[in-house]
Structure 1
Amino acid sequence: MKTTKPWSAALALGASLLLAGCGEEPEAQAPAPRPVRVVTVEKGVGGQVASFTGDVQAQDEAALAFRVSGRMIERSANVGDQVKAGQVVARLDPQNALNALRSAQAALAAAESQLVTAANTFERQERLLGNGFTTQANHDAARTALQAAQSGVDNAEAQLKTAQDNVSYTDLVADAPGTVTARGAEPGEVVQAGQMILQLARQGGRDAVFDVPANVLRAAPVDPVITVTLSDDPSVTARGRVREVAPQADPVTRTFRVRVGLDTPPAAMRLGSTVIGRVELGSDAAIEIPASALTAVNERPAVWVYDPASQTVALRNIELRRFSQASVAVETGLSPGEIVVTAGVQALHPGQKVRLLGAGS
């Protein structure tokens, strides 16, 4: 009887197991859905309101100054005083100006005397030349002297007018009614021509002045209505419109100075009062989503939109109206009720299955 060797039996068993293993392949496991956070898109109820703190200033403010130099001997107005048009608010010592005026008057009298003499001489030369008793050269010299004398009178009259003006310039006169807001010199000081003596806030209008960032200027509507209230009394309000925007930003704060002309401001809004201005940046409703949801595709802003039926995400381009560090306002590309991914957007690809960690609005 023939016996089977042990190693032959082991070999046959191993071969059968190998053939059995080749007939079946293990199934590949699908990747687990990626967890994300989402938000449901809702239509906004209105635009944002921006508020800024500023102060009340006069629409027209002028620095009153003397047109000549001298020692100031009087200042009849002080800070807070109401002045009228034509009122003398300060005076210089007029002695030097009066001396110059007397000198100019004397110079004019001398010039007029020379003119009379030159005119008489020319008349004699005119008669003598007609009768043949003088030469043409003497006649021409008399004519030249007469013209020079006339020019001397003209010059003396101009000098007299300048001296008279300088005397009048020793009185500083308010050119319009208003309120004195600052002073620049005291009686007894020697002041220079053009040096500010009094700062006058002219009557006729008041501005609320604010420092506004550039992004708010871009988001504000055209010709908006600004609501202005006193910071210490919100019941005192006024309305106004933007009258002037600085063409250049402040080099330190990078904000733009905006002047709002107030319509019939209440008396409580005195010059220098601290006020708060409010403006609605958008009167129409807008879709707002967190800024973390924003990504980009094809060099345009985009978001990941979640499909509840397939539990997958798709990339969609959107158009922005405005944005900030916390949120963005969507112009087009989204509809109320859609679900947008707000966390995990960098690790997604189109058609990927996701698992929601939380939802919000």
Structure 2
Amino acid sequence: MKPLLTTIISKRSGLIAPVLIIGSLFFTACSEPPKTKPLSVLPAMKISDVGELTTTPFPGRARAGKEVNLSFRVTGSLIDFPIAVGDQVEQGQLVAQLDPKDYISALGAVTGQLNRAQASAKRAEGDYVRINRVYAEDPGATSETALDLAKAARDSSRASVMSMTNAVTQAEDQLKYTSLLAPFSGVIVSTYVENFETVIAKQPILRLLDPSSIEFVISVPESLIVYSDYADSVEVTFDALPDLKVPATIKEVGREASQATRTYPVTLVMQQPKGAEILPGMAGTAVVSGRLPDSAQRSGIEIPATAIFAGEDTSKSYVWIIDPETKVLSKREVEVGQFGKTGVLIRSGISVGEWIAVRGVNSVREGQQVRIADYSGKGAAL
């Protein structure tokens, strides 16, 4: 298109001023297509058979079966610190000692107070018995008020004895706490103080590990955690020992998923293998093998509850099916069964191999194209 040349005549001067209107640029700008809106990212998962559980590696890291930071329960000055990093210690062995002089003195003081309280209580008890006998034999020989006062003195002295007995017990405990003993057999891996330092109660003194048994923590997606009860065997392979497969057992299954990854912590336990040593901190992978029994009274596919939504007819349930090629959403009705430990059982409507949206299902629409964000979990056909 050619530029248009127009003239503007000034009313005051009569001058003619040419104005060039770049029409071609104007229309070109107007004809530019609108910017493409970015596709919504939708967390999704692929429905797969439970048999894949036997080949799925779960990364994790080893830690000692028992590990603890030891500290004193009282404050004092170290006078004996006979251990060093790398030392093997036995259960009950002395690993640190505070100067006990102040605590011995405190115990002696409260023990003396207890003895005085016991003597006073003995006198008060005798006075009450004597006055009570006199009052019973001849009420006129003494007053009821005197009897009440004797009884109150006896009860007060008994309370004093009880209080001082508790004080002596506490002082004995304080004295006992000046000795730090190993709660189990293991190896010293860290020390945090030097001998003759003054330390306070609950200040870490040393770190003790028991490497005879090793724990291995893995993170399992919520779509697979339900099958932990059906695990037959677990094998762990460590990066530092690639040719060694260590058998393990499930010790503990977490019941709360991580808010960030939606995975559950599962703790495995194993013994040290012969001919090798697994050290705390070693990285590796665990493979869990298991199958549901034929007698299991469950059938269907378990998916996260967040994948299900209702339409206009609230009596029906739906999921979003994602075409893996076009990434286009289509709504599909499903038959919902019972609730599992971490999801919902779908009896019909979806099949192994299909992709479904698992989050954000109420913020998308039919026919919408999305980007799939791998949910890092696998549905499982039962």
Q: Which amino acid aligns with 1:180?
A: I
Deviation for aligned residue 1:255 = 5.5
- Residue number among 31, 55, 66 corresponding to 1:60 in the alignment: 66
Aligned-partner SS, 1:205: strand
| Identical residues among aligned pairs (%) | 26
1:53 and 1:155, CA in 2 relative to 1: closer, same or farther beyond 3 A?
Answer: same
Higher mean alpha-carbon deviation, 247-256 vs 146-155, is at 247-256
Q: Secondary structure at the match of 1:117?
A: helix
Q: Which of 115, 120, 143 is 2:121 aligned to?
A: 115
Judged with a 3 Å threshold, the aligned counterparts in structure 2 of structure 1 residues 81 and 249 are, in CA distance, closer, same or farther, namely: farther
Aligned to 1:32: none
Alignment of 1:16-165 (within 5 A): 47=52, 49-126=55-132, 128-129=134-135, 130=137, 132-165=140-173
- Is the CA contact 1:81–1:180 (under 8 Å) kept in the aligned structure 2? yes
Aligned to 1:191: 199
SS at structure 2 position matched to 1:272: coil
Aligned equivalent of 2:217: 209
CA distance in structure 2 between the aligned counterparts of 1:318 and 1:153, rounded to whole angstroms: 76
Secondary structure of residue in 2 paired with 1:59: strand
Question: Which deviations, in whole Å up to 9, do the C-alpha atoms of 1:265-292 show, x marking residues without a partner?
Answer: 3462333252422426899xxxxxx943
Count of equivalent residues: 267
Q: Measure the CA separation in 2 of the matches of 1:217 and 1:137.
A: 75
Give the letter aligned to residue 144 of structure 1: A
The alpha-carbon deviation at position 231 of structure 1 amounts to 1.7
Q: Which residue of 2 aligns with 1:176?
A: 184
Describe the shift of the 1:82–1:245 C-alpha distance in structure 2 as closer, same or farther (beyond 3 A).
same
* Cα separation, 1, equivalents of 2:96 and 2:75: 13
What's the CA shift for 1:145?
A: 1.5
Letter in 2 for 1:179: V
Q: Between 98-107 and 186-195, report the one with greater CA deviation.
A: 186-195
- Once the two structures are TM-superposed, the CA of residue 181 in structure 1 deviates from its matched residue by 3.6
Separation in 2 of the partners of 1:55 and 1:126? 75
Rounded Cα–Cα distance in structure 2 between residues aligned with 1:138 and 1:219:
77
* Residues 291/242 of structure 1: CA separation in 2 closer, same or farther (3 Å cut): farther
Aligned pair in 2 of structure 1 residues 222, 265: CA closer, same or farther (>3 Å)?
same
Q: Distance in 2 between matches of 1:221 and 1:115?
A: 63
How far does residue 107 in structure 1 lie from its aligned partner after superposition? Answer: 0.5
Q: What do the CA deviations read for 1:213-268 (whole angstroms, capped 9, x no partner)?
A: 66776899942633222323323321223333444555666655432222563462
Q: Is the 8 A contact 2:60 2:283 kept in 1?
A: yes
What is the CA distance between 1:104 and its match in structure 2?
A: 0.6
Q: CA separation in 1, counterparts of 2:79 and 2:261?
A: 43
Alpha carbons of structure 1 residues 261 and 321: separation in structure 2 relative to 1, 3 Å = farther
1:303-328: per-residue Cα shift (whole Å, max 9, x none)?
xxxxxxxxxxxxxx9723476989xx
For the pair shown, the structure with the greater C-alpha radius of gyration is: 1
Separation in structure 1 between the aligned mates of residue 380 and residue 327 of structure 2, nearest angstrom: 14
